Structures are given as C-alpha cells and as structure tokens.
Amino acid sequence: MKQRVALLGSTGSIGVQTLDIVRENPDRFEVVTLTANHRWEELAHQAIEFDADSVVIADERYYEPLREALADYPVKVYAGEDAVAQCAAASNIDVVVNALVGYAGLIPTVRAIEQGKKIALANKETLVVGGEVVMELAMRHRAPIIPIDSEHSAIFQCLIGERSPLERLIITCSGGSLRDLPREALASVTPEQALRHPQWSMGAKITIDSSTLVNKGFEVIEARWLFGVEAERISVIQHPQSIVHSMVEFKDGAIKAQLGTPDMRVPISFALMYPERAERKCENFSFADNPTLTFAEVDRVKYPALDIAYDCLRRGGTAACTMNGANEVAVAAFLAKQCGYLDIVRSIEYALQKATFVAHPTLADYAEADRESRELVRNLLKIK
Ligand code: NAD
Ligand code: MG
C-alpha cells in the first residue's frame, strides 16, 4: 500500500527535497495534498507533476491565479491557513510532512496529531513554541512524530534498539555563515553575508537562525521534547565539517554517532520510510577525502542566543514561544534591511523581558504569547 502524503510547504527547501524522494519512490508514495504560502506557479506545476488531489495556497491573494492555472486538471484548490490545517487532518492522509517555516507550522501539526497521523516533522518551531502540549497530544493520540531535522534524525537513528537511559545528547553545530568572523564584526553584517551558509542550502529564515545560533538553541529545545531529555543532558559542540550529524552518549561510556555527507534527503527519506531505509544512488562517503573532523566549544559570548534558548527551556511555559515570535519578526526585519544584525538577539532579549509569562499554557496562550511578542518587537524596531 502506498503512503498517502500531505506535504505542507512543498515549495520550500525541505518541500522540494521531499518531492525528490517521492519522485525516486513512485511505488511507495502518493501525493494527496501540496501547500504553499504564495508561490502559486510552482505549486501548480508540482500539483500537475504529482497528480495531487488538492492544493492549498495559504496566502488567499493567490487563490484566483492558482485556480485558473489548474482549471483543466482534476485538482481541488483551497486557500487560507485554516485550509492548510484541515488538509493535514483529512481522512485520506497517512503521513503529514510538515515543512512549513515558523509559528505557522504549529496548528497544522496539532490538527494532524488529533487525527493520529504520522508526522514527519521539519518544522522545529512546532516543538519550540508548544513542545510540552504537542508531545502530550501526540502520546494521547498515538501519533508518531519522526524528526526531519538532521541532528534529531541522527539522534533518533542512534537510539533505535536502545533500552537503557542515556547519559547525554550531543548536538553538533556547523557554526553557520559567520563562524569565521570576529565577534566585533557582527554589528555590520549584511543579509547577503549571513545568507551564505558554508554547508547547507536552506530557506532564508533558518539560514539566518543558523548564523545567530538561534537555530541551535531551538534544536536543543526540539530535542528536549522529542526525546524527553532534560536541558542539562543536552550539549552542543561546534563541528564545522557537518559530517557527524549528532551523537548519543550512554551510561556505559559508549557514544553512537550518525555520519554522512550533508544532504537533507537522507533524514527526509528516513522519516518517510522508517523503520526501513531508502535505496538511494549516492556516492560512497570517502573518509580518506575527509580526513579531519574537528570539534570545538561554542563561543557563548559571540552567540548569546544559545544560552537564551537554554534559559527558555528551564523557564518553560510560554518563554520559548516568546523567543520564537520575537526572532521571526526580527529576522524578517533584518532580511528586509529594516534593522541591524545584532538587533535580532536584542529583540529576543527585549521580548523575553517584557512579555507576559504563562507557566502552564494552552494552545490559546501560545497564540497570545506569539502575538504579544511580535507586537513588542515591531514597536522596538519601529516597523509595521
Ligand atoms: P523555506 O522558507 O524554504 O520553505 C517554507 C515553506 O513554507 C514554503 O513552501 C512556504 O511557501 C511555506 N510557508 C511559509 N510561510 C507560511 C505560512 N505563513 N503559511 C503557510 N505556508 C507557509 O523553509 P525551509 O528551509 O524548507 O524550512 C522549513 C522548516 O524546516 C523550518 O522549520 C526549518 O527550520 C526546518 N528545517 C529546514 C532545513 C533545511 O535544510 N532547509 C533543515 C532542518 C530543518
Ligand atoms: Mg538542524
């Protein structure tokens, strides 16, 4: 039986690579739903190529051109964020690949979990914002959440077959696009500079998050919720070659790692095919050509966002949701050249100081914390 797939965010970096895996395995997957935010032309092409049953364009302004582009095809066309969540929860779906970016990923994940769907999760913000509530829901509805994020996929793979409690998760970190820049040079960094990631080609927001290490902080939070491991047992180590994707240390002193050439299609295919693996035509990894794997402590002064994320994790409640909302607004402002690079972390710190804190949030509390945080940062940065 083919797995029937809803791919949320099909036009993004993860979305397009997910479609590569579907293309390589036509006997295993059937694309039912594709969604995008505003790139309606690409969405229409994808829907035609994969013979999708329905498409959703989240930004309703592009509904008409999308509908016209698909008028001669048997594809249902919907618009709006609610429709994205509804399609994720529809009865004709087996697996939801959540490749949305940002807070927008939370509710579609929740709706899919409530229907017991398998979730292949790239959208880490789902767990950053609402990890506690989301994991409790997933447990209750027996909805498996399989990570796509490469570090978490690595840890997930290392944990297969293990029964004993672990000592520590070791998350590796490339250091992002500005790793070779001295701390003093950060103030004048431009979007173009920060967008040049040394190893991975990814969406703009996560590339900036990688440069500030907000991304690594978010991955610590994501790991805490996915694997049920306290902050104290999650460490981060800089590994510029991005060959070791992350590690697990056990109580007998053994350490397991997952390695390979950086390619998101590996964790994507693993999330889709687990407990099996894809047969992919890849060149064998050459250790001889990669003779040096290095590791170093993260510079916590240059990258304060990592410790801010740990603090949010220890505080719990809505803290990480506030951090995420502030970061989303500030990163968008930085990319639009409406603020400087250091304003990103400054905005996060400001929002965390000023925002209302709810210790035991509901989904409605997360929505309010997100809204408040965005408003605080828009006022701070004087943007609309
Ligand atoms: P991207 O910006 O390339 O793509 C995002 C997708 O979501 C697009 O299809 C876009 O149309 C859609 N989208 C954006 N805003 C939306 C909204 N408000 N409503 C509905 N749809 C919306 O992002 P990406 O790099 O593919 O990242 C997606 C997620 O995967 C992020 O959470 C990111 O942190 C995570 N992730 C990405 C990578 C990577 O290599 N790109 C690696 C690990 C984790
Ligand atoms: Mg990652």
Q: What is the pLDDT of residues 285-298, one digit of tens each?
A: 999 999 999 999 99
Is the CB of 84 within 6 Å of ligand 1? yes
Tell me the best of 206, 216, 263 to mutate to test the pocket of ligand 1, counting ligand atoms within 8 Å of each CB and taking the most: 206
Q: What's the pLDDT band for 199 if we cut at 50, 70, 90?
A: confident
For residue 337, count other CB atoms closer than 10 A to its CB. 9
What's residue 201's pLDDT? 85
Is the CB of 79 within 6 Å of ligand 1? no
Whether the pLDDT of residue 282 is over 90: the answer is: no
Q: What's the pLDDT band for 143 if we cut at 50, 70, 90?
A: very high
- Per-residue model confidence as pLDDT tens digits over 342-375: 999 999 999 999 999 999 999 999 999 999 999 9
Is the CB of 122 within 6 Å of ligand 1? yes
Q: What's the pLDDT band for 197 if we cut at 50, 70, 90?
A: confident
Is the CB of 82 within 6 Å of ligand 1? no
What is the pLDDT of the chain when averaged over all its residues? 97
Percent over 90 (pLDDT), the chain: 97
Whether the pLDDT of residue 146 is over 90: the answer is: yes
Whether the pLDDT of residue 161 is over 90: the answer is: yes
Dist CA 80 CA 85 (whole Å): 9
Residue 295 CA, ligand 2 centroid: distance in Å: 17
Q: What's the pLDDT band for 255 if we cut at 50, 70, 90?
A: very high
Average the pLDDT over 139-165 and give the result: 98
Residue 104 CA, ligand 2 centroid: distance in Å: 18
Residue 324 CA, ligand 1 centroid: distance in Å: 14
Average the pLDDT over 213-226 and give the result: 98
What's residue 258's pLDDT? 98
Whether the pLDDT of residue 384 is over 90: the answer is: no
Domain assignments of the chain as residue spans, ordered by start: 3-147, 152-263+271-315
Closest CA relative to residue 209, chosen from 193, 220, 224, 194: 194
What's residue 344's pLDDT? 98
Ligand 1 atom closest to Cα of residue 218? 34
Look-up of token digits 């500079």? 193
Please identify, in words, the CATH class of the domain defined by 3-147: alpha beta
DSSP for residue 297: -
Which ligand is nearest the CA of 105, by number?
1
Residue 202 CA, ligand 1 centroid: distance in Å: 9
Residue 14 CA, ligand 1 centroid: distance in Å: 7
Q: Which of 1-15, 61-75, 171-185, 187-201 has the lowest mean pLDDT?
A: 187-201
What's residue 366's pLDDT? 98
- With contact defined as beta carbons under 8 Å apart, do 55 and 34 qualify? yes
Average the pLDDT over 54-59 and give the result: 98
Average the pLDDT over 161-171 and give the result: 97
Residue 23 CA, ligand 1 centroid: distance in Å: 20
Q: What's the pLDDT band for 200 if we cut at 50, 70, 90?
A: confident
Is the CB of 101 within 6 Å of ligand 1? yes
Whether the pLDDT of residue 322 is over 90: the answer is: yes
Token duo for residue 339 = 């603020």
Ligand 1 atom closest to Cα of residue 11? 9
- Per-residue model confidence as pLDDT tens digits over 81-112: 999 999 999 999 999 999 999 999 999 999 99
